[in-house]
Amino acid sequence: MTDLSEVRLVRTDGDSWDITESVGATALGVAGRASRGNARPDALIRDDYAYLLTASAGPAWAQMASGDDEWLSDDEHARRLHEMARNYQAVRTHYFDGYFNAAVRAGIRQVVILAAGLDSRAYRLDWPAGTAVFEIDQPKVLGYKTSTLDAHGAVPKARRVRWPLTCATTGPPR
Work out which of 35, 56, 117, 120 binds another protein, going by CB under 8 A: 117
Q: Which of 129, 130, 99 is nearest to 113 (CA)?
A: 99
SS3 115: coil
Contact present, 133 and 127 (Cβ < 8 Å): yes
Work out which of 38, 96, 125, 157 binds another protein, going by CB under 8 A: 96
Cβ neighbours for 41, distance < 8 A, ≥ 6 positions apart? none
User: What separation, in Å, do the N-terminal and C-terminal C-alpha atoms of the chain show?
Assistant: 49
Is 66 an interacting residue with respect to another protein (CB under 8 A)? no
Q: Give the separation between CA 137 and CA 142, rounded to whole angstroms.
A: 6
Q: Give the separation between CA 16 and CA 113, rounded to whole angstroms.
A: 19
Work out which of 39, 46, 48, 115 binds another protein, going by CB under 8 A: 115
Work out which of 35, 49, 50, 100 binds another protein, going by CB under 8 A: 100
Is 20 an interacting residue with respect to another protein (CB under 8 A)? yes
In the bound complex, what is the minimum distance in angstroms from residue 155's beta carbon to another protein?
Answer: 19
DSSP designation for 42: T
Is 139 an interacting residue with respect to another protein (CB under 8 A)? yes
In the bound complex, what is the minimum distance in angstroms from residue 4's beta carbon to another protein?
Answer: 7
In the bound complex, what is the minimum distance in angstroms from residue 156's beta carbon to another protein?
Answer: 15
Work out which of 39, 46, 48, 164 binds another protein, going by CB under 8 A: 164
Stretch 140-159 residues interacting with another protein (CB under 8 A):
none
